[in-house]
Chains A and B, each alone.
Chain A
Amino acid sequence: MPWSLYLALKQLFPAGKRFPFFTAISMAGVMLGVALLIVSISVMGGFGREIRRMIVETQGDLQVRAGTYLVNVEAVAEVIAGTPGVTGVSPFAEGVVMLQHNNLPAFPALQGIDVERINDVIPLNRYIRAGTLANLDDDSIILSSRLAYALGARVGSYVEVYSPLLLEKIKADEIMLPRELEVVGVMEIGHQSLDSSVVLVTLRRMQELYGLGEGVHGFSVKLAAGADPDAVARALNQRLPAVAPRTYARSWMDSNEDFLFVVQLEKNMIFFLLIFIIVVAAFSVTSSLLIAVVRKTREIGLLGAMGGRTRDIALCFCWQALIIGVTGTAAGVGLGQLVLHNRNHIIATFTKLTGSEEALVRFYEFSNLPAHLSSQDFWLIVGLAITISTLAGLLPAWRAARLEPVEALRSE
């Protein structure tokens, strides 16, 4: 071991002292900065991942949409299913309707799904909280949980559905009655806006409500694990014009580009702002090492008198900053993981104390705080924290290296 490293370790963790105060304070700064970054970036990453999962699980890996609607459904479905990487295809039709129950109106997005094929693409069964998807037929409907709650509807209730086509017919003086559909299921995705605004009916019922005949608005497509959604979308866009002009495939990333950009931007901004905590901690490392240089002036002079080279004396302080950075970062990672592990207990306690449990669900749209730290983010945090902390040792190292042994030995 080089003597500069040996002495750095001894100066940080001196023999006979149980609690190296200066070292602990410097490390605590780095530790808190790293822990805060780990927690914040993990939570942001968790939100991002939840949002991505939700998009994929409710829309499929990619969607094929027609300019208006498609009538040659099976021919297009065959082309899509024959494209490499595609494992499932399910047609859909969608539109806004007015829903009424107990004289309470709502205007949800109605999704017409192919009951036989939907589970090939979207794991709907996973989100059914009451009733069952198997019971969905042309005279029934599945409501999202918050919508059902708002309307006071439950499995077995009947709701009235008014479509835009119905209103058109009323304008033409035709007498049309709303469709009365039985609630056979309540689903909960875990996202407040989706759980407040989505209802499912069979594709046939939706086609009838919107007067589409045999037509559909598009297809949800499931891809094989590891398939690149953008590449498959490009392949589909080359094949589709032959069977369905003005029909385009877009990956889930492409379809939600703006939203995903905002999510990424928020995460980057939080990273940028929180990294300053580590910069501040680094100043504390600089400050405590500068104090050490002043306190140990004569010892630094002695090292010179004993034949220590200037660069080794400087290195001794760089090592100290690096050790503080590495140990502080390691402790910060540990603390961050501990907080993340207990995040839901911490949030539950906090919201209980502040009475903000409802607000958490309402505004943040998740019932549990998600967390996900990608290995890229992890190594970026660790690398930056150690680099910044090590750079903090340069000024003290430079000061120590500039000390002339003779002057240092004379100092009192």
Chain B
Amino acid sequence: MSDAVLTAVGITKSFLSGERTLTVLRGVDLTVKSGESVSIRGESGSGKSTLLHLLAGLDSCDAGTLHWAGSPRTNAARRSAFLGMVFQSFYLMPELNGLDNVLMAARMRGRVGRRERDRAQDLLQRVGLAERADHIPAKLSGGERQRVAVARALMNQPQLLLADEPTGNLDEKTGDTVIELLLALSRETGTALVLVTHNLAHAVKTDRQFEMHEGVLSPVAGR
């Protein structure tokens, strides 16, 4: 367990819906090692995104424990250095061009110098957007925006990459390209990847696969 980047044990989460308590996660256990890729599939409303938000430290669980690289510190100050996130809706800053969007991650850590600029340029080159670095998101296609978002998520050399249905807004071909890119960069940089997806073809490309059903996370046997 010493090389575990993410350790979640017995994660439980409920929400109040009117007078009813809705339990979304029921004792989820998940361990992800450094450089490992993991996929989580499940139908809509099964709790995949809620789990991802909890793993990112954006929300707190009712029960269970979460450790990032063995430490229970999962606050905002540590988040920017420890993990990167990719979302279905890209969430790029519309006011910033591609390069500045990627650099924003470094800027939020208070570090923007020559080295960071070179790294951002390099990442954009690796996602195939070196020529479009100065384009604002409105002038990029969906696939290009998601590739910028992937570069941004990797900017701070995180130990963990969380991707929440990153192909949900893309056509099949572009989606395949983005997933290939995510997996390749994850392997190349040794970054652990947790991929939430509906797409079985994408899920099977990860090292381990899980399924979420009514708040219970179970490994998929067979691969």
Which residues of A come within 8 Å of B, CB atoms?
Answer: 2-3, 6-7, 10-11, 14-16, 298-299, 301-310, 404-406, 409
Contact = CB atoms under 8 A, between A and B. Distances in A.
Contacts of A304: 58, 76
A170 to B, nearest CB: 90
Contact of B96 (A2, A15, A405, A409): A15
A307 B53 contact: no
Nearest to B91: A302
Given A3-B110, A6-B107, A307-B109, A14 B79 contact: no
Q: Bin chain B's interface residue count.
A: 20 to 34
A409 B109 CA distance: 21
B7 interface: no
B76 A309 contact: yes
Interface of B: 53, 56, 58-59, 76-81, 85, 87, 89, 91, 93-97, 100, 104-105, 107-110, 136, 138-139
B59 A306 contact: no
B179 to A, nearest CB: 21
B92 to A, nearest CB: 9
A306 B80 contact: yes
B87 A409 contact: yes
B76 A307 contact: yes
8 contacts: A3-B110, A7-B104, A10-B95, A11-B95, A14-B136, A16-B138, A305-B58, A306-B105
A-B pairs with the 5 shortest C-beta distances? A307-B80, A14-B95, A307-B79, A302-B91, A3-B107
B76 A15 contact: no
A296 to B, nearest CB: 9
B95 A306 contact: no
Contacts of A11: 95
A15 B53 contact: no
Contact of A307 (B59, B77, B89, B95): B77
A20 to B, nearest CB: 10
A6 B93 CA distance: 12
B91 A298 contact: yes
Contacts of B97: 15-16
Contacts of A308: 76, 80, 108
Nearest to A409: B87
A55 B133 CA distance: 69
Given A306-B79, A307-B81, A406 B58 contact: yes
B2 to A, nearest CB: 25
A299 B91 contact: yes
B134 to A, nearest CB: 8
Contacts of B96: 10, 15
Contacts of B85: 305-306
A298 B89 contact: yes
A310 B94 CA distance: 21
A187 to B, nearest CB: 65
B160 to A, nearest CB: 13
B28 to A, nearest CB: 17
A308 B93 CA distance: 14
B123 to A, nearest CB: 15
A301 to B, nearest CB: 8
A3 B53 CA distance: 24
Nearest to A308: B108
Contact of A3 (B76, B89, B108, B136): B108
B40 to A, nearest CB: 17
Contacts of B91: 298-299, 301-302, 409
A309 B108 CA distance: 9
Given A298-B91, A307-B80, A308-B76, A15 B136 contact: yes
